[in-house]
Chains A and B, each alone.
Chain A
Amino acid sequence: MNAMPPTLQRDDDRMIVNLGPSHPSTHGTLRLILELDGEFVTKGTPEIGYLHRGVEKLGENLSYQQFIPLTDRLNYCSSIMNNVGYTLAVEKLLGIQDPPRSQVIRVLVSELSRIGDHLVCVGINAVDIGAFTAFLYLFKERETIYDLLEMAAGQRLHTSFTRIGGLMRDIPEGFLPLLEQFQESLPRTLDEMEKLLTRNPIWYDRTKGVGKITPEDAIAWGYTGPCLRAAGLAQDLRKAQPYLGYEGYEFDIPIGTTGDVYDRYLVRTEEMRQSHRIIQQCIQKLRELGPGPVIVDDYKVALPPKDKVYTRMESLIHHFKLVMHGIDMPVGEVYSATEAANGELGFYIVSDGGKSPYRIHVRPPCFPIFNSFDEQARGTLIADAVAILGAMNIIAGELDR
């Protein structure tokens, strides 16, 4: 392995500008090499790997349970969705399903973090375009989301909330009242933001027609998530192959028409409102379900409760076996995809029956999207390139893994 710097073919006397690795508009550590003809971008070469930590390789030496904290660090704007996606993959391999209460809570926190992710994306995109105020309006809501996640998981950013077979713990007492407050204030904040942006002529001029993509091209590049839906395809894994009982929730898939930055912004905004709807139904379902277990009752998969461990021989042995030897995994391979905030987040796991997986592969949603950056940015101005980059919502953590 010899690491070679990317070779740059310089033709004519075009200016080559480095956007990144540390630049105000590359959120996270990524690098774009822009070839400029005046203000126009003639070529944009994305270079990745600045945040590469070898997550997939690390996973080969960790037990299935131990990999969960590493999934937090993939898309750190919505880490719970990574937790959920990964545990669903392992559960699919095991052939088990978590209890209904756990499913509802998983949906609830996933939608919360979807809102959080979209808030960040829309807000940061607005900052890139110069609208700082909208960003701070949105961040007020994001604070509440993080407060909620902290109540649930004990951590704000790197939640590690799920366990194989369920959840780490049930949501605490004060969670639902705060959630209801949030449910009340989120639509107002979104309305405020839309007042600032949606009909703002400058915002419209800056985003309309920038980064257009046809549905065919979008599919060819491997787009998923809001970027694909903005291009006009109602593709959503929550509807297409429902998991966690998403078929039991009422929500719509917003789609755009042209796939430009404006449509992506509108789609994300509407998705937040739809997530808001789903959360409302989650609250109702939680009330209907009443208290119950949040993790499977199978001690071969999930740790037995502590009081049993301290009092019963069987449980102590299970605890010991689970911690020391891990779960008894069947031999096989599985690909499981969930609809994360950015698109299809897939986990491909190959198991040889051992303590740790033989191979883990993560399919991050923003990797294929980022590939198309050159095509999207070519011929636009620098300012557009920055807007496109923001609307793609590149999260370096999951891009480089």
Chain B
Amino acid sequence: MPTPTLTQTLVIALIQAILVVIFIFVIVPLTIYAERKVLGHIQLRLGATRIAGTHTGLTGLVNRSMWKLGKVPVLAYWRGIPMLVGDILKMILKEDVRPTKADRFVFFLAPSLSFVAAVMAFAAVSFVPGTFFTFPKWVPLVGGLPLSGGMADVNVGLLWILGIASVGVYGIVLAGWASNSKYPLLGSLRSGAQIVSYEVPLTLSLLAPVLMSGSLQFSHMATTMATGLPFWGIVPQMLGFLVYFTCGFAETNRLPFDMPEAENELVAGFHTEYSGMKFGFFYLGEYINMAVVSALAAGFFLGGPWLLPFGLQGLVNPYLPAWLGQPCALFFVVKIVLLLFVFIWVRGTIPRYRYDQIMAVAWKYLIPLALVNLLLAAMVRYLAV
């Protein structure tokens, strides 16, 4: 395999970045749509159905032609799909209102921080260990070169993700402060305290996979957790997974931990004063964060691109098709989607915690549990390896 030149490396990196951004911007609107639909079905309604009329727009065209063919249009149910575009258009086109006494620069900085931090965390996520695909020979400039499965699958990947993720909280705190308004301030302070508290059990629960795989590199950790363990990792890691995922809810400000936004108490929390695309950045950032949290959970606990999680990969029957035993980006994406569904499902099921109770959950239950989990992982590691 030829060694790529500097130009080729840069072009490949650019292509990777574009692919990841495309992935993000495909999965986020779909999550928003899925949230509407899934929540709708949980709550005995249909969800979004009303974006395009029966006679106008693309679906209208299809509907009309179906009527002409003498068929009842079935597209009505899916008519909410254009809302994916409509949402973004709405946010871009809306007037961007800034309170008179808001801090101009910080008011602008906060949503960008929040959004950029969320996107950047994806850089270290590896979709497939090793090569994702090789460019065919006929491709100019980069033909015959491999495209790796992660943008920057560096050996401090987890550290990078955690570090960048905690930058996101600055976005929220600064938003509250810069708005110069009371509800955002309360919301952002809540959020600051909440995210700082929950980062402790989150990191502690992620330490267990680190301990078991002996690496901080995303692909290496995923590989070890899925295939490299000489035992079923499920016993010591179930607890870690639950602790991690619970903290994930808190990190992404989702129900039951949606304190910073707590609609019925603080109107809209830290983004009360935001409108237009600035609000849109917070909104998208939250969903990207959900995807990041799901990706980490899928990578470290659910076997990443392998079919089976928790070191159960050995269970794949050798008589089954060989690709079931191979890593595949599709498995990874499916796991992310499943976890995103859990996010929505939980939102439809349980009420919101109170601020002090959230703190109690973190410090009284999750941190001790995460420590116990770490101890278990250490013992397993000591005894088994």
Contacts and interface: CB of A to CB of B under 8 A. Distances in A.
Nearest to A131: B351
Interface string A39-78: 1000000000000000000000000000000000000000
Nearest to A17: B182
Contact of B353 (A15, A202, A382, A384): A202
Contacts of A381: 354-356
B129 to A, nearest CB: 39
A151 interface: no
A206 interface: yes
Contacts of A24: 263-264, 267
Interface in B327-359: 348-357
Contacts of B262: 130, 383
Interface string B352-384: 111111000000000000000000000000000
Nearest to A27: B264
B352 A130 contact: yes
B255 interface: yes
Given A24-B264, A25-B265, A382-B265, A129 B43 contact: no
A25 B351 CA distance: 15
B37 to A, nearest CB: 15
A384 B264 CA distance: 11
B343 to A, nearest CB: 15
B43 A206 contact: no
Given A39-B186, A136-B43, A206 B263 contact: no
Given A25-B264, A386-B264, A386-B265, A137 B43 contact: yes
B43 A127 contact: no
Contact of A200 (B265, B348, B351): B351
A130 B186 contact: no
Nearest to A205: B357
B42 interface: yes
B183 A17 contact: yes
A137 B186 CA distance: 32
B221 to A, nearest CB: 32
Contacts of A36: 186
Nearest to A197: B351
B182 A15 contact: yes
Given A132-B43, A133-B349, A137-B44, A205 B263 contact: no
Contacts of B263: 24
A140 B44 contact: yes
Q: How large is the interface on A (under 10, 10 to 19, 20 to 34, 35 or more residues)?
A: 20 to 34
Contact of B258 (A130, A140, A384): A130
Contacts of A243: none
A217 to B, nearest CB: 24
A384 B349 CA distance: 20
B269 to A, nearest CB: 11
Nearest to A19: B265
A203 B355 contact: no
A126 interface: yes
B183 A133 contact: no
Residue from B256, B351, B354 having most chain A Cβ neighbours under 10 A: B351
Contact of B265 (A133, A137, A383): A383
Interface residues of B, number: 27
A130 B190 CA distance: 17
A232 to B, nearest CB: 25
B264 A126 contact: no
A60 to B, nearest CB: 39
A206 B360 CA distance: 13
Contacts of B267: 23-24
A266 to B, nearest CB: 16
Nearest to B43: A136
A126 B352 CA distance: 10
B45 interface: yes
Contacts of B351: 126, 129-131, 197, 200, 202-203, 206
B355 to A, nearest CB: 6
Interface in B25-42: 42
Nearest to B193: A39
A205 B43 contact: no
A382 B265 CA distance: 7
A400 interface: no
A205 B182 contact: no
Contacts of A23: 267
A128 interface: yes
Interface string B38-81: 00001111000000000000000000000000000000000000
A23 B264 CA distance: 8
A130 B346 CA distance: 11
Contacts of A130: 255-256, 258, 262, 264, 350-352
A196 interface: yes
A382 B267 CA distance: 12
A338 B83 CA distance: 49
Contacts of A127: 264
Contact of A383 (B183, B256, B349, B354): B354
Contacts of B258: 130
Contacts of A202: 256, 350-353, 357
Interface string A375-400: 00000011110100000000000000
B355 A383 contact: yes
Interface in A1-47: 15, 17, 23-25, 36, 39
A206 B348 contact: no
A205 B353 contact: yes
Contacts of B266: 382
A364 B186 CA distance: 35
Contacts of A205: 353-354, 357
Nearest to A387: B354
Given A130-B256, A196-B349, A383-B265, A206 B354 contact: yes
Contacts of B357: 202, 205-206
Nearest to B190: A39
Contacts of B349: 133, 196
B15 to A, nearest CB: 42
A39 B44 contact: no
B194 to A, nearest CB: 12
B115 to A, nearest CB: 25
26 contacts: A17-B182, A17-B183, A17-B186, A24-B263, A25-B264, A126-B351, A130-B262, A130-B264, A130-B350, A130-B352, A131-B350, A131-B351, A131-B352, A136-B43, A136-B44, A136-B45, A202-B350, A202-B353, A206-B352, A206-B353, A206-B357, A381-B354, A381-B355, A382-B265, A382-B355, A383-B354
Given A25-B265, A136-B45, 4 more contacts: A39-B356, A128-B265, A129-B264, A130-B351
What 6 A-B pairs have minimum CB-CB distances, sorted nearest first?
Answer: A130-B352, A131-B351, A136-B43, A130-B351, A25-B264, A128-B264
